[in-house]
A = this chain, B = another copy of it.
């Protein structure tokens, strides 16, 4: 179980498509986030965001570069790489691939994703969310990927 890299697979559902016959571009962001959360779960990290929780991971930026369309029924792989771990934020890179019918991971790249989540907690005095250091359990479980991992995952260099 890697501390800086994770892969999830999923099948494209009918409701994810639009009238152009392909996955609506906004839905790629749901795939990225779901993979981030599965990464946390794979590390045994808590997923108690929002609601009564005093800690959360709001996004400060999110980006996708679309390379090829995805269609209903496609099986895809979302490959997450921890590109940067800062004191109060984590930046993830993602490579989204359409798996060929024989599960070939070398299949065509559909998109590159980039997402930065910031660690926030409710300030006891003001009641407002403010950036805080990454919680200890996340800090201990997640590492920044060593040099070359993003490129090895197929990620485009910036």
Chain A residues proximal to chain B, CB less than 8 Å:
13-15, 17-22, 24-27, 29-30, 33-34, 37, 41, 47, 49-51, 56, 58-66, 69, 71-73
Apart from A15-B24, A15-B26, list 15 A-B contacts with CB within 8 A.
A15-B18, A15-B30, A18-B18, A19-B19, A20-B49, A20-B51, A20-B58, A22-B58, A25-B29, A26-B26, A26-B27, A26-B29, A29-B29, A61-B65, A63-B63
Partner of A15, one of B21, B33, B58, B64: B33
B59 close to A66 (CB less than 8 A): yes
A18 close to B20 (CB less than 8 A): no
Partner of A66, one of B13, B26, B58, B64: B58
CB-defined A-B contacts under 8 Å, sample of 22? A13-B30, A14-B19, A14-B24, A14-B34, A14-B49, A15-B24, A15-B26, A17-B19, A18-B19, A19-B22, A20-B49, A21-B51, A25-B33, A25-B62, A26-B27, A26-B62, A29-B29, A51-B51, A58-B66, A59-B66, A60-B65, A63-B63
